[in-house]
Structure 1
Amino acid sequence: MKASEADIFIIPGLDNSGPGHWQTRWEDKIKSARRIEQTDWSKPEPESWVSTIIQEVEKAKRPAVLVAHSLGVVAAVKAAHAIRPGIVKGAYLVGMPNVESDDHVPATLRSFAPIPDVKLPFPSILVASRTDPYCHYDFAADFGEKWGSLVVDSGESGHMNEQSGHGPWPEGLMTFAKFIAKLS
């Protein structure tokens, strides 16, 4: 599949993705990409975020591909089994936070726990960093395996956001392009 043949849904995390973030850059670069807008980016509520993802993805006119970062990963995974089967062809998941641990995320994000631990109904890649302050690599890799995701070790990449130097993130875009090319 080509990106132009899919509806690509950008799903940011807490506080949205700013103008220099790789998600925003991809949204600007990929004509078939659009951001799922949440009602409140700074005070996320799981039910609202998940239902917004379901509603927006079910409006897809073409095969859907999810591109989630941080808290958007957890929300997308929570929405996965509620989306009508066959709409989503794949998900590219980056920098999941451990919302089950006060040591890793603010207490306000704990309302997104528990993280679903069942196989996703579509192919996925989970990109995880060994130095992500919001989640230990082994914790993320364990969930990636439970989801049936191909787990990609991004090394010491921090949270894979603008602050960790992942503004344009060409390596991520190349991995995404290879992933989407294998979807049907």
Structure 2
Amino acid sequence: MALQKEPNVLVLPGYLDSGPGHWQTRWEAAHTSFSRVRMPDWGQPVRDDWCRTLDAAVTAAASDGAPVVFAAHSLGCLTVAWWASRYAAPAQRDKVAGALLVAVPDPAGRAFPASASGFAPVPDERLPFPTIVVASTDDPYGGVPFSHACAAAWGSRWISIGARGHINADSGLGDWQDGVSWLKSFVSVAS
């Protein structure tokens, strides 16, 4: 029996990128198979640009035949949903083993960045690979009802981690081992 290749984890930060204390940045430093998708403009996100950048990143990450897993935060989650539902060819979507979607922001919410364009309305169809939506009960960018509705529409498992704000560096998660465990539920992720 052939051993499955270690997955390539694409780290998808949100608006303004993820800084040094963010769990995404910490994961990248701790895991050689994790790499950040560098978006063309972190401060002026445009859906079309971000989705095309993600598509190119999936092509590059899957070039060795290993499965791809997404570790998305905030606007990175909406990018995954748009990419999977409107941009990616079926063969491209088939390269993805799963997506961890953390702190999904509501584009209709008051806190959503005015400089972000094209992310509304949120796709409301089942995503073509396994997903987990992780939410906080006091996220200023997307409330529990919104994240729960996204999870239901996308066919995602929904997990609440309590009051953790926007589930970012300020949330005090450190290396966030629970998140790594959820990633491992898609495919084996090396330590």
The alignment's TM-score, normalised by the length of structure 2, stands at 0.87
RMSD of aligned alpha carbons: 2.0
Alignment pair present for 1:75 and 2:83: no
Cα deviation digits, residues 101-135 of structure 1 (max 9, x gap): 2x231322353111111000000101011100101
Structure 2 Cα separation of the partners of residues 3 and 135 of structure 1? 36
Query: Which deviates the most, 24-33 or 124-133?
Result: 24-33
After superposition, the Cα gap between the structure-2 partners of 1:3 and 1:141, relative to the gap in structure 1 and judged at 3 Å, is: farther
Q: Give the Cα separation in 1 of the matches to 2:4 and 2:178.
A: 17
Distance in 2, matches of 1:32 and 1:160, equals 22
SS at match of 1:91: strand
Q: 1:79-118 counterparts in 2 under 5 A?
A: 79-81=83-85, 82-83=87-88, 84-101=92-109, 103-109=110-116, 111-118=118-125
Residue of structure 2 equivalent to 1:128: 135
Q: Quick one: percent identity of the two aligned structures? A: 38
Mapping for residues 160-175 of structure 1, pairs under 5 Å: 160-175=167-182
Counterpart CA distance in 1 for 2:119 and 2:136 is 21
Letter of the 2:148 partner, please give it.
Answer: A
* Residue 64 (structure 1) aligned to one of 45, 64, 68: 68
Q: Compute the displacement of 1:76 (Å).
A: 1.1
Give me the whole-angstrom Cα distance separating, in 2, the residues matched to 1:156 and 1:179.
Answer: 26
| Separation (CA, whole Å) in 2 of partners of 1:110 and 1:137 | 23
CA contact (8 A) 2:47 2:117 kept: no
TM-score (norm 1): 0.90
Q: Aligned partners of 1:71, 1:161: CA distance in 2, in Å?
A: 12
Q: Which runs of 5+ in 1 are unaligned?
A: none
Alpha-carbon separation, structure 2, partners of 1:72 and 1:85: 16
Q: Name the CA distance, whole Å, in 2 between partners of 1:34 and 1:77.
A: 19
The alignment covers a number of residue pairs equal to 180
Residue in structure 2 matching 1:145, options 152, 156, 161 = 152
Distance 2:5 2:77 in 1: 23
Give the residue type in structure 2 aligned to 1:159: H
